[in-house]
Amino acid sequence: MSDTQSPTRALPDDGDWPNPLYSWYVVAVLMLAYTNSFIDRQILSLLIEPIRADLAISDTQVSLLAGIAFTLFYTILGVPIARLADQKNRKAIIATGIVVWSAMTAACGLSRNFWQLFMARIGVGVGEATLSPAAFSIIADYFPKHQLARAFSVYSMGVYFGAGLAMVIGGIVIRMVVEAGTTTVPLLGQIKPWQITFFYVGLLGLP
């Protein structure tokens, strides 16, 4: 089945749908991507205190980082990206989004002040806005109508897996980097544990 959307879908509910095992594999991969996106989204909440201390940011700035920096562009860009997913290669859109949000999560670790971190968080939101519109469109091409609700529900489980794993993986990574202490990197200078955490979590999405 071609990944690029055609203007009409001629497959009835009892038509020639892809192998169910492969269809559920596709859902599992998309759910894994959704899980990863939520880890990247939530990891900031575990690092607020060291970030506040190092960048000298206020409570208001913390709320902007955790809220509007991410959600504004994530919400606004969802609509045009959904339209793009109806016309272009959806796998390429998702792959591009994963690269963007992973790179921007790592870029959070390069931030030296509030505005740099704010812009990196916007980038995370922009990247993650690509996933769900294209994912829902892909899933709809792999299942008949009477199975779509179940497939969408499994995909949506990625939110809760991601929220939980963000705490587990984030806690493990933070413990590792805190024990390692401050690291000096050529060209970048001293890198604090919270910055290294962003690097590791960002790299997690690339494989």
pLDDT tens by residue, 193-202: 888 888 888 8
CB atoms closer than 10 angstroms to residue 59? 9
Query: What average pLDDT does the chain have?
Result: 82
Q: 16 Cβ partners below 8 Å, 6+ apart?
A: none
Residue ranges per structural domain of the chain: 20-204
Report CA Rg, the chain.
19
Q: Tell which residue, 173, 203, 35, has the closest CA to residue 106.
A: 203
Say whether domain 20-204 belongs to CATH 1.20.1250.20.
yes
* Cα four-point dihedral sign 207, 20, 3, 158: negative
**pLDDT value of residue 182:** 66
The tokens describing 1, both together, are 């089945």
Range in 120-124, 139-143, 176-180, 202-206 with the lowest mean pLDDT:
176-180
**pLDDT value of residue 186:** 66
SS3 of residue 18 by DSSP: coil
Phi, psi of 47 (to 5 degrees): -115, 10
Provide mean pLDDT across the span 57-68: 86
Alpha-carbon span 177 to 182, nearest angstrom:
8
**pLDDT value of residue 204:** 81
Range in 7-21, 82-96, 114-128 with the lowest mean pLDDT:
7-21
SS3 of residue 183 by DSSP: strand
